[in-house]
Chain A
């Protein structure tokens, strides 16, 4: 099988007035890859994700995501991607099952598919007993897993995770990364932003953004060698400092 690029970004730029949030970034993400998108707050990560998910148009440059142009083929693009925000956005006043059904519904899955996938999911996450519990009564770590499962329910080509592990304890984070690996093994490309440097080490490839530019990109080993560091924390400090 040839290596297929699911994201091809070319000179992607976004300005707000005089401020350039994302400044001519270019990169490719391969199919099935876990791509870590790192950067301090305000580095332009969120703006980049917004453009790649088709909710913000680019000022110049373009990107092709899952085979579709982010500016011209938004509607088709949106069917092929999944998204999870750092707020683990689920509806608090709906039950687990209702949330999943809703997400299935807005991605146009059939009723039978939704029921089958909900069953599979609650089985796999061992959440069968709480499927009729309101999300507001479910602990944070579980919500995170549910939100992730909802984001990949329609089996997107690529899933964007915006700081998916913020505010969660290390053990739950570790478990969450297992879910990410499972999804990647399943052929879903994972585009993840994080500010936990140890998490960056779980990614196949890493890019580091500062002030709208991509400063460095490569596998963990490549980056450690290039910047002569023992871990990502050091790499990051050298780049940002």
Chain B
């Protein structure tokens, strides 16, 4: 126990003396959450658009007023002909163009299916999708006001459950928390172990009476502790700065955080069994861990719209399951019974990797 204490003390000294480590540990979570929360948002306001109004009547004017009144769009340009559309996109100022056909008003009164064309800049497909979605909702609303709901089409009311205002920060807080925890746990642990190998101190430790399990625990426990602090910081930021709801149990949430951190720490250890230098450790955790976690976890891109093969790969990424778990607990107030499956997967991944790591460690010692 005394030897273990000596070891952990040393680990904390390493952490607190290295400015880079400190920044990663305490600066980055805060900066990332705030950045994602305020700056990078999936909501789009005041997008510049152009209108080609071929009808020029009171109805087409009404529709345009409605579009600009929505707050989502800014009518930047009134176009004169089809050829102007291409030019307007070419200048890069507009994201979308609306074409209102000739005799729009007349056809509307005669119930003669007037049509509207939406042209979007699909070089930025996400924005294009979101904008056309907004616009269609506005047009549908306009139709309803004019009393021309087609009898054949049911009217659609969308209710955003669990996130009624569709705030993207609700997505980012769990996402950032996941990425940070992964970074701190997996990358930092693998780097500190690789550092001992690089400096040759690992040999000294192995020759010393410290049992390998003590060395491993001594490396892991400081980061476990710091990860929990980080999780709590991010959680508090989410709750108080971004007013995320917390509908579930804190105990359950923290236990899940613990489980996820444990799985990441084990991945870190696994990386360190193969990486002999700090650089290799960093690169392998970046490429092998951070990138898949960011890209395939559903944090930024929805898993369901990925190619099938990537969807399969995403199943073995702990981050994916953890994000689902946090969102369920925080937004839906889910209990263990409804996230049992996801938790089970995390436990399985942790166990499998744990056994693998222990085996790898043994081989090194033989």
Chain A residues packing against B (C-beta within 8 Å):
53-57, 75, 78-79, 81, 83-87, 89-94, 98, 101-108, 160
Which residue on A lies nearest to B7, using beta carbons? A106
The answer to whether B10 and A75 have CB atoms under 8 Å apart is: no
- One of B6, B14, B366 near A106 (C-beta < 8 A): B6
Could you tell me the distance between the alpha carbons of A93 and B209 in the complex, rounded to whole angstroms? 23
Number of contact residues on B: which range applies? 20 to 34
Residues of A within 8 A of B118 (CB): none
Which residue on A lies nearest to B15, using beta carbons? A93
A96 to chain B minimum Cβ distance, whole angstroms, is 13
The answer to whether B200 and A89 have CB atoms under 8 Å apart is: yes
Could you tell me the distance between the alpha carbons of A84 and B7 in the complex, rounded to whole angstroms? 19
Residues of B within 8 A of A107 (CB): 3, 208-209
Are A108 and B209 CB-contacts (below 8 A) given A57-B366, A102-B10? yes
Which residue on B lies nearest to A102, using beta carbons? B10
The answer to whether A93 and B17 have CB atoms under 8 Å apart is: yes
Query: 13 interchain pairs (CB within 8 A)?
Result: A53-B207, A56-B366, A57-B366, A78-B207, A83-B207, A89-B199, A101-B6, A103-B208, A105-B5, A105-B6, A105-B9, A106-B3, A107-B209
Are A78 and B203 CB-contacts (below 8 A) given A94-B13, A105-B3, A106-B6? no
Are A94 and B10 CB-contacts (below 8 A) given A89-B203, A105-B2? yes
Residues of B within 8 A of A81 (CB): 207
Are A83 and B13 CB-contacts (below 8 A) given A75-B211, A101-B6, A106-B210? no
Lowest 5 A-B CB distances belong to which pairs?
A105-B6, A87-B200, A89-B200, A83-B207, A78-B209
Which residue on B lies nearest to A86, using beta carbons? B200
The answer to whether A55 and B365 have CB atoms under 8 Å apart is: yes
Are A105 and B7 CB-contacts (below 8 A) given A89-B200, A93-B14, A93-B18? yes
Residues of A within 8 A of B201 (CB): 89-91
| CB of B303 closer than 8 Å to a CB of A | no
| CB of B119 closer than 8 Å to a CB of A | no
- One of B199, B203, B210 near A83 (C-beta < 8 A): B203
